[in-house]
Amino acid sequence: MEILLAKSAGFCFGVKRATQIAFEASSEYEHICSLGPIIHSPQVVQKLAEKGVGVVEEVEAIPEGAVIIRSHGVTANEMRALQARGLTVVDATCPFVNKAQEYAARLAAEGYTVVIVGETEHPEVQGIVSYANGGKVQVVANAAEAAHLPRMVRVGIVAQTTQSFENLQQVVGICLAKCQELHVFNTICDATTVRQNEARDIAGQVDVMLVIGGFNSANTTRLAQICREIQPATHHLETVEEVQGSWFNGVERIGITAGASTPRWLIEEVVNRVTELIHPGEK
Amino acid sequence: MEILLAKSAGFCFGVKRATQIAFEASSEYEHICSLGPIIHSPQVVQKLAEKGVGVVEEVEAIPEGAVIIRSHGVTANEMRALQARGLTVVDATCPFVNKAQEYAARLAAEGYTVVIVGETEHPEVQGIVSYANGGKVQVVANAAEAAHLPRMVRVGIVAQTTQSFENLQQVVGICLAKCQELHVFNTICDATTVRQNEARDIAGQVDVMLVIGGFNSANTTRLAQICREIQPATHHLETVEEVQGSWFNGVERIGITAGASTPRWLIEEVVNRVTELIHPGEK
């Protein structure tokens, strides 16, 4: 039996950076918390809690000291409220998310109707929306939703950084039919596409596929969906405890990948556990 | 038997305007010519010649006096050369073509690689290209050609005014995959789309279809192609003399449309001739 581990499994650039910033800040500040879970990995959030970095859901609930802004970013209002309260802001917003916020603000300032391609409820999207405010803003999940947009004169488009390129492309095609001028910033981070493509490739070669990552992580859930379309024997798991020996009965090849917010040590634990199960005593 | 005449047959806004300007100018100036045929209708060009407006192909060949710029526009170099020679310029460039030239110039000045969707050899496209010069310019006819473009950082797109929207949409989709920032001005004139859609509609209801317009007119030739795909019994004709009685044997319904540079009187001549042929003595 053989394990195929995706090279692109685990932390993307922005998550790695945010986690590093958070761990460094945990020793630097006596009173520190993060506004919302720093990344969508309950295990990393737990480790940070052990270092004294609690999670606070609202600006008003922050007691004192420093506050970490997670990789998804915050809304412009939240940023102003943090500053107004005189808190020390440790900004771990992913630089790619920052770019999307900046482009949305610029397009709104230039008078475009800003169309954001993404999930309305996602904190990253809510942050981007807030920077385009003052202007007209529309959030659409896909081409079907874009088809319901009214006619507009000048349309500016940015995307949630984890969107698929095909989705952005389809929305752009629909919006082009609804306006005279279209200004698009492709703010999609390649890491998602690279990870999804590698997952597809591996899922097509194996008898069982494991996708490791938070059940609250949108990108991990999407990754598991993509793999399941190719290999129905796909398991989405958060921790090593969930690995079941029965998954590997009669199996030749095992694929493993992980979402953007899954730490390396969690992936290694799963790889080690699977290795023990399929080659007992070899470790 | 019945004739279905397209409402959108004949002169578009820009051609109508250019022709009016040319006829007015013919009585205003003693020495006047047009740089290239004013529109792609040999019959209109002939009528203007009778009014003393000859066709000159090169700036250097203009003897003196006034020169009419046709609806397709001229290149920036030609415009400079006309002004340098001290000629009176009567500008009949279609305002929609002017817009495309302005947007191309603006995108080039802002540092975009300018992609022009259109036919490289068409005078309108050559004019638009000239206004984007100084920057990087690419002309692509369709998505297949766009696929060969290199990776670019910032792409600005304009279209030849008579392109189909679907073609622009496909090129935009391809270019989006090749850059970070995409700025599109939809410079397509609706008249072409409206005329083509009505022609499709009529061609589907008739037994024979007549498309009137210059054999050198790209939009008329395209209109005839579109009709022929739906009704193989489609005839592209330039003048009433080409109408053949045999076309109407056993025919119930006859469709008639005309290109953007076909004058009203030419359409009426054909309608009258067809009416005589199918209802002899009724006129």
pLDDT digits (tens, 9 = 90+) for B61-103: 998 899 999 999 999 999 999 999 999 999 999 999 999 999 9
Q: How far apart are CA A265 and CA A240, in angstroms?
A: 10
Per the structure, the complete domain to which residue B254 belongs is given by 2-10+191-278
Q: How far apart are CA B265 and CA B283, in angstroms?
A: 17
Rounded mean pLDDT of chain A? 94
Of A165, A176, A185, the CB nearest to B177: A165
Q: Are residues A170 and A219 in the same domain?
A: no
Q: Are residues B237 and B274 in the same domain?
A: yes
- Give the mean pLDDT of A175-195: 94
Distances (CA, A) of B82 to B52, B86, B100: 20, 7, 21
Q: Are residues A231 and A253 in the same domain?
A: yes
Q: Are residues B215 and B184 in the same domain?
A: no
Looking at the domain assignment, is residue A233 inside a domain? yes
Residue B40 is predicted with a pLDDT of 83
Q: How many domains does chain A have?
A: 3
Distances (CA, A) of A197 to A203, A216, A223, A226, A227: 10, 22, 10, 9, 10
Measured from the Cβ of residue A97, the count of other Cβ atoms closer than 10 Å reads 25
What pLDDT digit, counting tens, does each position of A15-40 carry? Answer: 999 999 999 999 999 999 999 999 88
Query: Which CATH number do you get for residue B272?
Result: 3.40.1010.20
The answer to whether the CB atoms of A186 and B181 lie below 8 A apart is yes
B168 to chain A nearest CA, in Å? 9
Percent of chain B with pLDDT over 70: 99
- Give the mean pLDDT of B18-25: 95
- Give the mean pLDDT of A254-281: 93
CA A111 vs. chain centroid, Å, equals: 29
Backbone angles phi, psi at B14, to 5 degrees: -65, -35
Looking at the domain assignment, is residue B283 inside a domain? no
Chain A residues whose CB is inside 8 A of the B176 CB are 168-169, 172, 184, 186
Strands A181-185 and B181-185 turn out to be: antiparallel
Looking at the domain assignment, is residue A241 inside a domain? yes
Using an 8 Å CB-CB cutoff, list residues of chain B that contact chain A.
165, 168-169, 172-173, 176-177, 179-186
Element (H, E) at B172: helix B165-176
- Is B39:B71 a contact under the CB 8 Å cutoff? yes
Q: Are residues B133 and B71 in the same domain?
A: no
The answer to whether the CB atoms of A176 and B172 lie below 8 A apart is yes
Query: Which CATH number do you get for residue A87?
Result: 3.40.50.11270
Q: Are residues A175 and A213 in the same domain?
A: no
Using an 8 Å CB-CB cutoff, list residues of chain A that contact chain B.
165, 168-169, 172-173, 176-177, 179-186
Q: Are residues B153 and B216 in the same domain?
A: no
B106 to chain A nearest CA, in Å? 13
Q: Are residues A173 and A115 in the same domain?
A: yes
Q: Are residues A217 and A268 in the same domain?
A: yes
Predicted complex ipTM: 0.85
Chain B residues whose CB is inside 8 A of the A165 CB are 177
What pLDDT digit, counting tens, does each position of B51-61 carry? Answer: 999 999 999 99
- Is A155:A112 a contact under the CB 8 Å cutoff? yes
Looking at the domain assignment, is residue B32 inside a domain? yes
The answer to whether the CB atoms of B182 and A179 lie below 8 A apart is no
Chain A residues whose CB is inside 8 A of the B180 CB are 185-186
pLDDT band at A41 (very low <50, low <70, confident <90, very high): confident
In the set B24, B58, B64, B124, the catalytic residue is B124
Percent of chain A with pLDDT over 70: 99
Which of B69, B93, B117 is the last residue in one of the domains?
A: B93
- Is A88:A65 a contact under the CB 8 Å cutoff? yes
Which of B172, B188, B204 is the last residue in one of the domains?
A: B188
The answer to whether the CB atoms of B185 and A183 lie below 8 A apart is no
| Contacts of range B136-144, beta carbons closer than 8 Å, 24 or more positions apart | B136/B108, B137/B104, B137/B108, B137/B113, B138/B113, B138/B114, B139/B115, B140/B115, B140/B116, B140/B171, B141/B117, B142/B117, B142/B167, B142/B170, B142/B171, B143/B167, B143/B170, B143/B171, B143/B173, B143/B174
Query: Which amino acid, residue A153?
Result: V
Whether residue A194 is predicted with pLDDT greater than 70 in this model: the reply is yes
- Is B196:B154 a contact under the CB 8 Å cutoff? no
The answer to whether the CB atoms of A173 and B168 lie below 8 A apart is no
pLDDT band at A193 (very low <50, low <70, confident <90, very high): confident
Measured from the Cβ of residue A150, the count of other Cβ atoms closer than 10 Å reads 8
Residue A218 is predicted with a pLDDT of 84
Looking at the domain assignment, is residue A238 inside a domain? yes
Q: Are residues A36 and A56 in the same domain?
A: yes
Chain A residues whose CB is inside 8 A of the B181 CB are 183-186
Looking at the domain assignment, is residue A203 inside a domain? yes
Residue A66's DSSP bridge partners are: A32, A88
Whether residue B262 is predicted with pLDDT greater than 70 in this model: the reply is yes
pLDDT band at A95 (very low <50, low <70, confident <90, very high): very high
Q: Are residues B177 and B202 in the same domain?
A: no
Mutate to test the interface with A, among B152, B180, B188 (most CBs of A within 10 A): B180
Active site residue ranges of A:
124
Looking at the domain assignment, is residue A198 inside a domain? yes
Q: Are residues A181 and A242 in the same domain?
A: no
Residue B246 is predicted with a pLDDT of 95
Which of B133, B153, B188 is the last residue in one of the domains?
A: B188
Q: How many CA atoms lie within 13 A of B3 on its CB side?
A: 19
What pLDDT digit, counting tens, does each position of A52-69 carry? Answer: 999 999 999 998 899 999
Residue B282 is predicted with a pLDDT of 59
B171 to chain A nearest CA, in Å? 10
Looking at the domain assignment, is residue A283 inside a domain? no
3-state secondary structure at position A18: helix
pLDDT band at B111 (very low <50, low <70, confident <90, very high): very high
Of B179, B180, B186, the CB nearest to A176: B186
- Is A154:A111 a contact under the CB 8 Å cutoff? yes
Of A165, A173, A180, the CB nearest to B185: A180
Residue A282 is predicted with a pLDDT of 59
